[in-house]
Amino acid sequence: MRIAFLVAPEGVEQVELTEPWQAVVEAGHTPRLVSTGPGRVQAFDHLDKADTFEVDQAVADATTAEYEALVLPGGVANPDFLRTDADAVSFAREFFQAGKPVAAICHAPWLLVEADVVRGRTLTSWPSLHTDIRNAGGTWVDTQVQICGDGPNTLITSRKPDDLKAFGEAFLTEFDRAAQS
């Protein structure tokens, strides 16, 4: 299974990229780093620069047909940048239109708000996003992992780095379920 990880050129919370990435690799799937441009992305450990990672594909050149699922890592700046990029917004929206599962952690649901795909869904996030999610027609809950939907078109969300283990287990289970549908 090929899984897209969509991140901005700068601002992704490193652990929210690397731990889910490693979980995907350990499950025998193929992660691919997609960003708004080629080159390397600068990850952060909260507000401090961390490692850089090579981009596999620019979002403008990516299609949902190439991937079975989408992971949206957080970080405050990462989704804020992505939601101002039309290609990134369209790419995320197209996963929902294609009925493919999406996993988002921490601040990443900001991109989903911008893509107008949270209406009628129940999700969790970093607590400061609750008003944005409610204003976009979603229901916000404070839980470690929230799964909304069953099989294809499932949205798996989580709150923060402390929830990463549960997040990885949940999205891998749901991605496998969707692939078997």
Nearest to 85 by CA among 68, 56, 62: 62
Angle formed by the axes of helices 164-180 and 14-26, to 10°? 50
- The CA distance from 11 to 166, in Å, is 23
Q: Name the token pair of 81.
A: 């940048």
Q: How far is CA 127 from the centre of its chain?
A: 17
106, 147, 164, 170: the catalytic one is: 106
Is 148 designated active site? Answer: no
Q: Count of CB atoms within 10 A of residue 27's CB?
A: 17
Q: Taking a C-beta distance cutoff of 8 angstroms, is the pair 141, 163 a contact?
A: no
- Give exposure, 121-130, as e/b (b: 16+ Cβ within 10 Å): bbbbbbeebb
Question: How many angstroms separate the Cα of 73 from the Cα of each of 4, 14, 39, 120?
Answer: 11, 9, 18, 22
What positions carry a catalytic annotation?
106
